[in-house]
Chains A and B, each alone.
Chain A
Amino acid sequence: MTYEDILLELIQKDDRFIVLTAENRAAIRNLPNKVKGRFIDTGITEQTLIGVSAGLALRGRIPVCHALATFLTMRAFEFIRTDVGISGLPVKIVGGFSGFLSDGNGPTHQAIEDVSIMRGIPNVNVFCPADEEDMLICLRQILEDPRPFYIRYNNFKNIYSHNHNFEIGKAEVVSKGKDVTIITYGLMFGESYKAMNMLKEKGIDTGLINLRTVKPIDEATILEAVKNSKLIVTVEDHFKTGGLYTILSEILLKNKLTADVLSISLDNKWYKPALLNDLMEYEGFTAPQITEKIILKLN
């Protein structure tokens, strides 16, 4: 089962589904011939893509629209905010090559503020799957939900077998830890999972939370980790401002709590363009580097 298979299945069983792109077909290359009129390519027009999607949603459709995460969430930002956010129409906004996934493209293509700006729009929710398996487990529910969603598309192969029980707004608790809990979303789940195992091997009791939906956020699971772990580590391929570190800060303030927190994120900078593994090494996001940073913080 692939991402395309699920879209095709939904299109065939439910008249409401319709797939769009602003000339980025990476995730949906095989669909046009299979679904005919229910595949619409507006050309390189991210703003019009969102407007057309909202128009289709106004007519009762559930449009699933695709483009590069940077251009989709930023060039078309005001269209998402105004035409999808204000109306609350069920447009599903799928951003490709977000975070570190745009590897060698350079800063023009780095969507590392997408989560921040999408979660800031009333009515718009945010789904950041850990990998392809996680994405496919959750996808039907996200697409069938009557609310607008931004989806950080992630077809990275899984190194962990995910829990098949999914509920919007509920995180996947991979492990609980008294010393450390790593909270993460999206692509950085893989390195975080490996780091958790490395820490456990060193006798450090480590927990791991895969958020799945960053909005709505699973506040209860986060609060439980804050209460039961000495250190909270947030890992994200995103700017420090506006992402998970900010969300955690908001939750702590709201509950009049404080915590020892280590944020592994991009602090006010774009990342070095290179192949994925090389850039993660350069920026300090590999599992051994995450492990080392956590041990340093614990000491």
Chain B
Amino acid sequence: MTEKKLADLKNTAFNVRQHIIRMSTDGGCFIGASLSCADLIVFLYKEFLNVNLENLDDPKRDYLFLSKGHDVPALYGTFAEIGFIEKDRLKNHLKTNDFIYWHPNRNIPGIEFYSGSLGHLLSIAIGVAIDCKLKGQTNKIVVILGDGELDEGTIWEGALVANAYNLDNLICVVDRNHFQANIETEKLIPLESIEDKFKAFGWGTGSCDGHNFESLEKAFSIFPIKENKPSIIIADTKRGKGLPSIEARADRWFVNFKPEEVEMLLEELKGGAEADLTSETIVAR
């Protein structure tokens, strides 16, 4: 990866994180998961997917399905950066005059399907992938899954069906931030080894550092990972990445910060001192 490209990706991801932090007040948002997948989403839209403002309705475009849904501020932020929506529109977060709320919906250009109810979009993506194959199209169909989301039974139904139909145009990415909503995954319903489980289901598997663009580029350079089969990449990430004051904390899943805390967090993101957060933590929503 060239230095220029790397700098551009880092700059975009920084801007996306700023957008996420600005959405964490006046009602708040699921900041932890949004920050953990920000680099991944920026990488996919800028380096991997053939989707842009001009081909958003073209059936030959690539698709991204954000299955875990509550990390949608990272998607809104990315869309603002790549021009799918106006940056000013992010100020409409949770306002009745727009559709920018806590979960994805099709009223926002670029969002392929409703999500938020976990374990749905793998099956939707399988339907899309089957149709692309029937039509002889070579679109790539990407699904971002949460690690906690892997508890859902329909993920494993989908794992069986995608293997049965040899969907080598399908690629899942797990935002492996190690947390369910309220607790670390391995302390509640252990998931490891995720790769071995999917290997046993017939998938090609890979892994990468979900915050390192060169590592992401390497992981996504081979596709499909296994001939004729669906692929899955486990992207190792950190909940709340970019803000040491909330990183990897169980109690900073959903937040609703005071305006002055947002200003402190924006400084923290730039490398300033850790924010002195006094607002109440919300562990369940």
Binding site for B on A (CB under 8 A): 37-38, 40, 42-43, 45, 47-48, 50-61, 63, 78-79, 82-83, 86-87
Contact = CB atoms under 8 A, between A and B. Distances in A.
B117 A48 contact: no
Contacts of B154: 45, 47-48, 51
A55 B127 contact: yes
B161 A55 contact: no
Interface string B112-133: 1110010011111111111110
B31 to A, nearest CB: 25
Nearest to A53: B127
Nearest to B155: A48
A45 to B, nearest CB: 4
B158 interface: yes
Interface string B144-164: 000000000110011011001
Nearest to A36: B134
Contacts of B128: 55-56, 58-59
B130 A43 contact: no
8 contacts: A38-B134, A42-B161, A47-B154, A48-B161, A58-B113, A58-B128, A60-B59, A82-B117
Contact of A52 (B106, B160, B161): B161
Nearest to A79: B120
Contact of B124 (A38, A40, A51, A61): A51
Contact of A48 (B106, B114, B134, B157): B157
Given A42-B161, A45-B161, A59 B123 contact: no
Nearest to B127: A55
Given A55-B128, A55-B130, A58-B113, 7 more contacts: A51-B154, A52-B161, A55-B125, A55-B127, A56-B131, A79-B123, A82-B114
B131 A59 contact: yes
Contacts of B106: 87
A271 to B, nearest CB: 30
A69 to B, nearest CB: 20
A163 B127 CA distance: 37
A48 B59 contact: no
B117 A58 contact: no
Contacts of A57: 127
Interface in B39-59: 59
B123 A52 contact: yes
Interface of B: 59, 106, 112-114, 117, 120-132, 134, 153-154, 157-158, 160-161, 164-165
B197 to A, nearest CB: 17
Contacts of B127: 51-59, 63
B37 to A, nearest CB: 22
A56 B160 contact: no
A59 B157 contact: no
B131 A51 contact: no
A51 B123 contact: yes
B114 A55 contact: no
Nearest to A42: B161
A89 to B, nearest CB: 10
Contacts of A38: 134
Given A43-B164, A79-B123, A83-B124, A55 B157 contact: no
A82 B157 contact: no
A55 B120 contact: no
Contacts of B121: 51
A58 B120 contact: no
Contacts of B153: 47
Contacts of B158: 48, 51
Nearest to A38: B134
A82 B120 contact: yes
Nearest to A87: B114
Contact of B131 (A61, A79, A86): A61
Contacts of B129: 55
Contacts of A48: 123, 126, 154, 157-158, 161
A148 to B, nearest CB: 14
A126 B160 CA distance: 31
A52 B113 contact: no
Contact of B157 (A45, A53, A83): A45
B59 A51 contact: no
A52 B131 CA distance: 10
Contact of A55 (B124, B160, B164): B124
B110 to A, nearest CB: 14
A55 B165 CA distance: 15
A78 B160 CA distance: 21
Nearest to B133: A37
Q: Give the residue among A48, A59, A79 with the most B Cβ atoms within 10 A.
A: A48
A55 B114 CA distance: 11
B126 A51 contact: yes
A38 B135 CA distance: 11
Nearest to B115: A82
Q: Give the residue among B106, B134, B153 with the most A Cβ atoms within 10 A.
A: B134
A63 B165 CA distance: 17
Given A48-B154, A82-B114, A54 B134 contact: no
Nearest to B124: A55
Given A78-B117, A83-B114, A51 B130 contact: no
